[in-house]
Every structure is written in C-alpha cells, then in structure tokens.
Amino acid sequence: MRTFMRAVSIWGRRRLFQLRAVGTGEIVALAVVAVVLVVGPASVFAYGRWMDRHVAVVHARQWQYAPNVLHATAGVPLRIRLESDDVVHGFKVIGLDAQVTQLIPGKSMELTVTAPKPGTYLYMCTTYCGLKHAMMFGKLIVTAP
C-alpha cells in the first residue's frame, strides 16, 4: 500500500511540474480548444435535439416525403417541421386542417396537426414540383388514445 501511495505521489508531482513548466497560457489555450472541439459541437448537438424534442421532422424532396409514415395519437397535437431539400413543394393532410401551400427550400415551416379520430390520413404535395409530383404522398397513422 505504501509503495502504491508513493508511486501516486511521484506521478502527481511530475504531472504538476510538467503543468507548471507548460504555463498558464497553455492551460487557457487548452480550455479554448476544448470549447472549440468538444463543448461547442456538443452544445450545438444538444441544442438541436432540444429544439426538436417534440417535433416530427419531415423532409420533402423530389418526389417523396421522408419519413413517409407519421404516427400520432387521436386528440393529441402533433408538431411537424417541414423542410424542403430541393425545390418548392407543398403539404396538405387530407381531411384535416393542416396545409402549407409553398414550402420554400431553406425555410422550414412548422405546423401542428390534431386528428380527432383514429385512422389513416394521407398527406400530399400541393405544389407542382416536377414529373412525379402526383405520386408524392405519405401516411399519417392515428391511433386511439
């Protein structure tokens, strides 16, 4: 036990000496780099997750929605954030009052959908976006509470 403690104290003193030799400037620089390399990206990632914590993100691209299946509970509002990845699309849930006429690439739009009754609702693109525009749709599956 005593040899172990001695080894630890020697290791500790050597590290302390090295740290002092390095100087406070280097420690500050290390802190800066730690922020840049670790804290920065981590907080960006965390912020992104926090912003989207109760949101279903739907990407619209030629010619599909991703994801093309959404799940919701009847009576509970579902927040959807729509993003277009290429050209101007539209979005409409058939049978519900949820619509974005012009989804412009680069501008995400958020809307809230509340389905009163369980069932399957279709959402589709409402702005002509190219050859397969008519085949661009997805399903919103609403289950009973």
Partner 1 sequence: MSAEKRVVARTATAEAVDAPAAPRDVFLGFVPVDARLELTKAPWLRRLLRSRWTTFLPTALNLFLFLVILAAGIVGTPVGNANIAIVFIWILWWSALMLVLVPFASRLWCGMCPLPVLGEWVQRFSLVARRWHKPLGLSIKWPKKLRSMWLVNGVFLGVAAFSGIITTRPWATVALLGSIMVLGTGLFLVYERRTFCRYLCPVGGFLGLYANFAAIEIRPKSQPVCVGHKSKECILGSMAGHGCPWLEQPTNLKRNTYCGMCFECFRCCSQDNMGLYVRPFGTDLLVESHRGLDESWKAFIMLGAAAVYSATMMGPWGTLKDMANLRSFGGWALFAVGLITVLAGVLPALHGASAWLSWRLAGRTVPLKKVFTNFAYHLVPIGLLAWIGFSFAILLPNGSYVIRVISDPFGWGWNLFGTAHFAWTPVLTSWLPALQAASLLFGFVYSLDVAWKIARQTFPAPAAAARAVVPQIVLLGGITAAFLWLFVG
Partner 2 sequence: MRGRRYLAMVAGGVILVAGLFAVRLGASPLPHPRTITLEASQWRYTPGIVTVNEGDPITLIIKASDVTHGFYLDGYNVTETVVPGQTITARFVATRSGRWMFRCAVTCGPFHPYMIGWLRVQPNVTLRLGLLALGAIGATALYAAWEEGSGR
Distance CA 85, CA 126 (A): 16
Draw the binding track, 82-101, toward partner 1 (x: CB under 8 A; -: no contact): -xxxx---------------
Q: Which of 59, 73, 95, 105 binds partner 2 (CB under 8 A)?
A: 105
Q: Which is nearer to partner 2, 99 or 120 (CB)?
A: 99
Q: Which residues contact 64 (CB under 8 A, 6 or more apart)?
A: 136, 138
For residue 67, whether the previous peptide bond is cis, meaning omega lies within 30 degrees of 0, is yes
Residue 98: half-sphere exposure toward Cβ, Cα within 13 Å: 24
Distance CA 23, CA 94 (A): 66
> Out of partner 2, partner 1, none, which partner does residue 145 contact, by CB within 5 to 8 A per kind?
none
Q: Which of 51, 76, 94, 122 binds partner 1 (CB under 8 A)?
A: 51
Numbers of helices and strands, H then E, in the chain = 3, 9
Contact segment (CB under 8 A) with partner 1 among 17-25, 93-101, 120-128, 132-140 equals: 17-25
Contact segment (CB under 8 A) with partner 2 among 4-12, 26-34, 37-45, 121-129 equals: 121-129
Binding site for partner 2 (CB under 8 A): 86-88, 102, 104-106, 127-131
